[in-house]
């Protein structure tokens, strides 16, 4: 039976709607009283695992799921051993550098060497500033990253931005966009090559939507 890893959070609703269009119904994950982490489609064609967004490529990479839906930002941060099949077009956001609105630094290049940058995207932030040839200290934060500049712990942050409302409400402004992110369909590479559980057919159906 085909197993699909679905992300908790912002991408879940759109992911379930997408799969419903090819005949797979995992909508019970959206029920407020639901506590299940694994459910089977009523047609018995597939089952889904509900996991943290960052764990989707891990389950797919280790073959516990043959397909997964995850944001491009996660793939850039984790660089997992999975096959990226297609851009699904929803979940639009961007990874950006932001500073306090009162900051004297209006571009990342203007930050002084060895500035502190708070981020949950440690790999992406390090790679970006390395490309700028600007040495900075990346401070890993996994909660409210916006508090870094607010408290003075960091001069800047690297974080996901959707509407920008959270930044504005906390007195921060974007000064650079690293990349745009959308939801991606990923697959276990060997399972895809072997067409395990008719994987290529499911992928083709999703590509035709």
- DSSP letters along 38-107, please? EEE-TTSSEEEEEE-GGGHHHHHHTTS-SEEEEEHHHHHHH--S-EEEEE---S-EEEEEEEETT-S--S
What sign has the CA pseudo-torsion 124, 126, 127, 131? positive
Q: Which residue has the higher pLDDT, 58 or 80?
A: 58
CA gap 135, 157 in Å, rounded: 15
pLDDT at 80: 85
For residue 103, CA distances in Å to 12, 98, 156, 168 come to 36, 10, 9, 14
pLDDT at 32: 87
In the chain, the domains with their CATH numbers are: 2-91+182-207 (3.40.190.10), 93-181 (3.40.190.10)
pLDDT at 151: 96
Question: Rg of the chain's alpha carbons, rounded to an integer?
Answer: 19
pLDDT at 115: 97
Cβ pair 195, 106 in contact under 8 A: no
pLDDT, tens only, 138-186: 999 998 999 999 999 999 999 999 999 999 999 999 999 999 999 999 9
pLDDT, tens only, 60-119: 999 999 999 999 999 999 888 999 999 999 999 999 999 999 999 999 999 999 999 999
Mean pLDDT of 4-8: 97
């Amino acid at each position: 039976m085909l197993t699909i890893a679905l992300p908790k959070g912002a991408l879940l609703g759109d992911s379930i709607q997408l799969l419903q269009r090819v005949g797979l119904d995992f909508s019970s994950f959206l029920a407020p009283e639901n506590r299940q982490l694994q459910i089977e489609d009523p047609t018995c064609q597939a089952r889904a695992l509900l996991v943290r967004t960052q764990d989707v490529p891990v389950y797919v990479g280790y073959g516990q799921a043959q397909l997964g839906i995850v944001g491009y930002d996660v793939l850039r941060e984790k660089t997992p051993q999975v096959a990226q099949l297609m851009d699904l077009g929803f979940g639009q956001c961007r990874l950006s550098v932001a500073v306090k609105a009162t900051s004297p630094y209006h571009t990342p290049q203007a930050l002084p060497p060895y500035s502190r940058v708070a981020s949950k995207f440690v790999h992406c932030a390090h790679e970006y500033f390395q490309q700028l040839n600007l040495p900075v200290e990346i401070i890993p934060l996994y909660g409210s990253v916006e508090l870094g500049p607010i408290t003075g712990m960091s001069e800047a942050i690297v974080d996901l931005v959707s509407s920008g409302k959270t930044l504005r409400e906390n007195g921060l402004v974007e000064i650079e966009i690293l990349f745009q992110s959308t939801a991606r369909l990923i697959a276990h590479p060997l399972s895809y090559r072997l067409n395990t559980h008719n994987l290529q057919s499911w992928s083709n159906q999703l590509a035709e939507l």
